[in-house]
Amino acid sequence: MVEVILFFLGASLILYCILGGADFGAGIIEIVSPQKMKNEIESAVYKGMGPVWEANHMWIILAVVILFNGFPKIYAELSIYLHIPLTAMLMGIIFRGCAFTFRHYDAKADKSTEIYGIIFRYSSLLTSLILGVIAGSLAKGSFQEIGPGLSYWQVYGQPWLSPFTVAVGLLVTSLFAYQSAVFFVGEPVSNELKKHFVRKAKQFNIVAIITGILVFLFGWAENINLLDHFFTHPVSLISLILATLILGPIWWGLSHFNRWVVRALSGAQMALVIIGWVAFQFPDVVRFRSGASLDLYTHAAPESTITVLAIALLAGSLIIFPALFYLFRVFKQHESGLSS
């Protein structure tokens, strides 16, 4: 039954990075867009993300619930060692959510609306960066077990803050912005704005490639041999190759405004990146400098808990997935005039 839970945990993380990532990326797109397009882009973000943005965050909630109930020891250790970035990420999610709501539903447009817009944009950027830093700390695997003679920073700061983890944060940030630009290419917007989103998608795709190279370089500098991990693990290697091969069709789809091609392939590309990252360190999640680690099999909850959780997830999926499909169908059925 633990494999069922792991499937849902992996699926929730992938869907959060695709759907929630596009949500975060909307704020980043606003930052790098010209002032003259400000109102039109904000309107596109509201119409595109407004009806479904809360549903996008369901996946991270699901992942947290699965960790808390299915792998309580791992959940506890992550909450302790990463309490600084996790708290910052949660604050970012709250700030951007509040700002997004107030920006569009305030009684009147005034100076406060501008402030809400700034909060939304920069909390989107910082939250994406922090989420990537957290992912980088897990890939780095240098958590320091609490012991005498260690400072607060050595235990709770150094494992997650380094050039490598920041590079991963920049990679995730660029991927989210890229994912968002791809999403908006398929929205019913003006041709000028559509071309703008295509340019941003291509630009952030290039930035993602550059930051991806930086991740490998900083990993090598910090004795994290990612090349070894990726090229010796078959799943990671295949994921890396496929994610690279997909680039050509995505750029073709962007140039031809083909929303189905670019959305499907960019989502698949994001999924492949996550699968490749997870595969080389699976089943370990928390890895210490001493060589010890916490893995998903050894530190799973008792069998009775795992069984109940697996049944609940299977039963819930029969409701969640059709409901989610219906939600998107209802709010996206107005799209027309786009290439398919």
Listed range (43-52, 86-95, 151-160, 193-202) with the worst mean pLDDT: 43-52
The answer to whether residues 100 and 48 touch, using CB atoms and an 8 Å cutoff, is no
328 or 171: whose pLDDT is higher? 171
User: How does 270-290 read in b/e, with b if 16+ C-beta sit within 10 Å?
Assistant: bbbbbbbbbbbbbebbbbbee
337 C-beta neighbours (distance < 10 Å), count: 5
- Average pLDDT, integer, range 167-186: 92
Mean pLDDT estimate for the chain: 87
Distance between CA atoms of residues 128 and 137, nearest Å: 14
Distance between CA atoms of residues 198 and 206, nearest Å: 13
Give the residue carrying structure tokens 């704020």.
27
- pLDDT tens track for 2-24: 999 999 999 999 999 998 888 89
Distance between CA atoms of residues 29 and 125, nearest Å: 9
DSSP annotation of 160 reads: T
87 or 330: whose pLDDT is higher? 87
Listed range (70-74, 121-125, 256-260, 300-304) with the worst mean pLDDT: 256-260
266 or 328: whose pLDDT is higher? 266
Q: How, if at all, do strands 284-287 and 293-295 pair? A: antiparallel
256 C-beta neighbours (distance < 10 Å), count: 12
- pLDDT tens track for 237-254: 999 899 999 999 999 988
Give the residue carrying structure tokens 């920049």.
170
pLDDT at res. 338: 42
Q: Rounded to the nearest 10 degrees, what angle do helices 247-255 and 191-221 cross at?
A: 160
- pLDDT tens track for 59-98: 889 999 999 999 999 999 999 899 999 999 999 999 988 8
Distance between CA atoms of residues 136 and 172, nearest Å: 10
Please check the confidence at residue 105 and state whether its pLDDT lies above 80.
no
Output phi, psi for 293, to 5 deg. -155, 160
- Average pLDDT, integer, range 256-260: 80
Give the residue carrying structure tokens 């991806």.
212
Distance between CA atoms of residues 16 and 316, nearest Å: 17
Q: What angle do CA 197, 198, 201 make, to 5 degrees?
A: 85
Please check the confidence at residue 340 and state whether its pLDDT lies above 50.
no
